[in-house]
Every structure is written in structure tokens, then in C-alpha cells.
A and B are shown apart, each in its own frame.
Chain A
Amino acid sequence: MGASSGPRLSGMQRQVLSLYRGFLRAARLKSAEDRHKIESLVSNEFRHNANNVDRKNFLYIEYLVRRGRKQLDQLKSPDTVGLSALNMGPSSSICSAG
């Protein structure tokens, strides 16, 4: 994995970390059980991507950061109660609405 959480973080790593911080801060403003669900989902997602996505795959990391920022904006609104994910399976099959 090679997480360089030492003194020198690259710009992209800083963006990812600030996004993570943003999510945790937004979760703090929700009710207790919602907060727990949001935190567990967000940390799972970040950990999963950290393990599976190649460090050099800038295109995909930037795409994930942009998507995360949009989701964070939605989460910040007081009406939003939580996040959920829906897995449609492999996109190669026609019935999975590509």
C-alpha cells in the first residue's frame, strides 16, 4: 500500500484526506445512529479504494474525488439522513441498465 503519511503528502493525497475529513465533519452534525452508519460506510469506501486503486491511476482517483465532493455537498444539507450504496453487478450484462 505504501501510505506516505509522513511529512510529504502529494496534492492529490491531501485532497483525498480533506475529503475524508469533510465527510467526518458532516457526519458529526447528524444524529447519533445516522452518524455511526455514515462513518462506517465512508471509512469502508475509502479503505476499499485505498487498497484496490493503483496509486498512479490519477484519472480514476480524480473521478472518485469529484464524485465524493458532490456526495459531500448533498450530505451537508440538513435533510439528508444518510448514504447508501446499490450494487448492480457487472455492467457487461444487458439487463443491468448500462
Chain B
Amino acid sequence: MATGLLRRAFTGISSSPAPTAARYVLLRAFASEPQTDAAVPTARDTSKLKTFSIYRWSPDNPTKPELKEYKIDLKECGPMVLDALIKIKNEMDPSLTFRRSCREGICGSCAMNIDGCNGLACLTKIESAGSATTITPLPHMFVIKDLVVDMTNFYNQYKSIEPWLKRKTPAEEPGKEILQTKKDRAKLDGMYECILCACCSTSCPSYWWNPESYLGPAALLHANRWIVDSRDEYTEERLDAINDEYKLYRCHTILNCARACPKGLNPGKQIQHIKQLQLAGANA
């Protein structure tokens, strides 16, 4: 708008040969226009309120858990669910408890159930439509407080598959890296990116019904990552360790895990691969 005014001012000057004093007066008149932008509407005038229904339960006040509602103005908040949670904690209710760290989808701390789907709060955009967003902790996990769940069983299952390199023969060049072709390294793609957020395991109904005995998609994805690693020499032992009715074969290819993974991985596919290897091992 201001540029339009200035353009008009300049055309006025070039067409009419006005004296220099009048030209300066003309410029000064237009120069003061842009400072009085009273009619321009700001983004703060209207507000877009969105309701968040958040699961609350505290061990200090051990009543039944409840869904508490909070209203947030989306114009004053970042786009992601984590931004809304932090805003609620800062301004409205400091007792809201949740895990978070990197705010960029790489640490896996903020995994929770948003509107029925598991995902990372820092990567899930707030749906700006009218209806309320329901935020609950990861399903079928014991709750420590509000949105924080007990992950020890999940981590113990990851530990149980021995997620480190195991060799029988020493390395060719001691002190240097064990070499691997590009093709062999490409086999690890789709598995090394896992951030252990537990979104997949807690979306699997089979894991809900047998959390202690079934390893879950995340642990099995990592088991496959070590089985398929060309540098690891304990492949057979790893396959035998999980070749169990409960540890591996509780998977019925429900494939909720692939749908839930916030990093776009497919644990179901890796579990299929393990099952195929088991079959090949049994036949050979």
C-alpha cells in the first residue's frame, strides 16, 4: 500500500515540472502516510480457540484418571502438539507432566497417543478444525503420572536381544573398523533409524495382550538389524534365541506398527524377514 502511494508521488513529480519546494512538500506528505497504518488488521484481533482433552492422573492424588480440558489460542501457539503442551504447562497448568527433549522427532521421548493414533508430539501437527484433540499416554502401558509411562519392560526387551556386535573371530585389522560393502550397509536401511519411541510396540494388539512374553515390533526390528548385519557372526545364535512361540510368533502381521511409526519404518516387514530366515534355517 505504501509503495503504491510512493509510485503515485513519483509519477506526479515527473509529469508536472513543479518547483523543488513543492516537490519536497509532496514527498513529505506521502512519507507520513505509512506510519498511520491504523486500519491494517493484526493477527491478534481474532483468536482461534482449540480444546485439548488431556489424560490426567497423579499418584499424589490417587483418584480415578480423568480427561481435563484446556483451551489454547492457535494463533499464539506453535504448529505442533508439543508446542501446545508446553504452552499449557507454562501458562495454564504447571502440574501437567510429560516427557520431551529434542522437539525435532529424533529422541523419541514425547511419544503419546494423539486422537487415537500413536505418534511423537513434536512431529504431530495440531488439527486446526473445531473438534477437541484427545491426548492420552501410550496405550496399555502402566502410567507413572499424567502422560509419562513406565518404559522399563520395553527397554528390558530391547536389552534381551543383545543389541551389540558379537564376533567369534577377531577383526582383520585389529584397532581398525570391520569393513562392510555398500550393499551390506544398505541392508541396514530401514532399521538403524529406529529411535525406540515405543509407538509401534504400544500400537500392536498382540503386544497389549502379552507384554511380558512377546518382544514387540521394536525389539524384533532391532533383532533383525543385528541378524542382517554382515559384521556380526552370531546370526544363528540370535535366530535361535528368538525362535520362540511367544517371543516371535505372537506376531500375526496386524501391521499396526508400520502405521504408527513416526519415522516411517516398517517393523512388520522386518519381522517377516526373521520368520523367513527361521523357516530357511529349519529346512537347511
Contact = CB atoms under 8 A, between A and B. Distances in A.
Interface of A: 53, 57, 59-60, 62-63, 66, 70, 91-92, 94, 98
Contacts of A70: 152
25 contacts: A53-B62, A57-B62, A59-B57, A59-B62, A59-B64, A59-B65, A60-B59, A60-B62, A62-B142, A63-B59, A63-B62, A63-B142, A63-B143, A63-B144, A66-B142, A66-B150, A70-B152, A91-B58, A91-B60, A91-B95, A92-B95, A94-B94, A98-B94, A98-B95, A98-B97
Q: Which of B57, B64, B94 has the most CB of A within 10 A?
A: B94
Interface of B: 57-60, 62, 64-65, 94-95, 97, 142-144, 150, 152
Contacts of A57: 62
Q: Which of A53, A59, A94 has the most CB of B within 10 A?
A: A59
Nearest to A66: B142
Q: Which of B64, B65, B95, B144 has the most CB of A within 10 A?
A: B95
Contacts of A53: 62
Contacts of B57: 59
A26 B97 CA distance: 33
Q: Is the contact region of chain B dominated by helix, strand, or loop, or is it mixed?
A: loop
B279 to A, nearest CB: 38
A11 to B, nearest CB: 16
Contacts of B64: 59
Contacts of B65: 59
Contacts of A60: 59, 62
A97 B48 CA distance: 31
Nearest to A63: B59
Contacts of A94: 94
Given A63-B143, A98-B95, A98-B97, 9 more contacts: A59-B57, A63-B59, A63-B62, A66-B150, A70-B152, A91-B58, A91-B60, A91-B95, A94-B94
Nearest to A60: B62
Nearest to A61: B62
B90 to A, nearest CB: 11
A98 B95 CA distance: 5
Contacts of A92: 95
Nearest to B97: A98
Contacts of A98: 94-95, 97
A92 B61 CA distance: 11
A62 B144 CA distance: 11
A60 B97 CA distance: 18
Contacts of A66: 142, 150
Contacts of B143: 63
A94 B152 CA distance: 29
Contacts of B59: 60, 63
B155 to A, nearest CB: 13
